[in-house]
């Protein structure tokens, strides 16, 4: 069975952006994230904590529109980036954040000093 050129083009349009375009979008988002977001959202050293929460695919319930709005307009503790980044660049950052796995939950400290540590 031969497919016509129109069928192939229609199929490509229905499938949306190519994987290469998505990969480029995420790569741009990762680069922008590393330039502007890492300073607060990643720990500066292994032994120190981050200044802001770690970002992942679960950030703000995983809702891309809310993540975009938060990056653009900021929060009381975070500056907005709508002047620094275009809406498309913010979408790229959101696309990258949605690829970051959620951090593993740290074990809660034990209460009651039953271990050999310095409780």
Per-residue model confidence (pLDDT) at position 46: 75
What tens digit of pLDDT does each residue of 31-70 get? 999 999 999 888 777 777 778 998 999 999 999 999 999 9
Residue of 66, 86, 80, 101 lying closest to 37 (CA atoms)? 80
Residue 29 has pLDDT above 80, yes or no: yes
Is 32 domain-assigned? Answer: yes
Is 105 domain-assigned? Answer: no
Residue of 36, 20, 12 lying closest to 85 (CA atoms)? 36
CB proximity list for 55: less than 8 A, separation 6 or greater: 33, 37, 41, 97, 100
Structure tokens at 76: 């009381």
Is 56 domain-assigned? Answer: yes
Is 85 domain-assigned? Answer: yes
Is 74 domain-assigned? Answer: yes
Confidence of residue 1 (pLDDT cuts 50, 70, 90): very low
The domain in which residue 22 lies consists of 17-97
Confidence of residue 118 (pLDDT cuts 50, 70, 90): very low
Structure tokens at 8: 């192939």
Per-residue model confidence (pLDDT) at position 91: 96
CB proximity list for 57: less than 8 A, separation 6 or greater: 97, 98, 99, 100, 101, 102
What tens digit of pLDDT does each residue of 81-107 get? 999 999 999 999 999 999 999 887 654
* CATH (domain of 84): 1.10.760.10
Is 9 domain-assigned? Answer: no
Per-residue model confidence (pLDDT) at position 14: 52
Is 49 domain-assigned? Answer: yes
Count of the separate structural domains present in the chain:
1
């Amino acid at each position: 069975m031969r497919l016509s050129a129109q069928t192939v083009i229609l199929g490509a349009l229905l499938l949306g952006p190519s994987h290469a375009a998505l990969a480029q979008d995420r790569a741009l988002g990762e680069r922008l994230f590393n330039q502007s977001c890492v300073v607060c959202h990643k720990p500066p050293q292994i032994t120190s904590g981050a200044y802001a929460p770690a970002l992942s695919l679960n950030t703000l319930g995983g809702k891309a529109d809310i993540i975009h709005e938060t990056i653009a307009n900021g929060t009381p503790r975070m500056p907005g980036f709508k002047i620094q980044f275009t809406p498309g660049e913010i979408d790229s950052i959101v696309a990258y954040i949605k690829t970051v796995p959620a951090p593993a939950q740290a074990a809660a400290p034990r209460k009651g000093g039953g271990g050999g540590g310095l409780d």
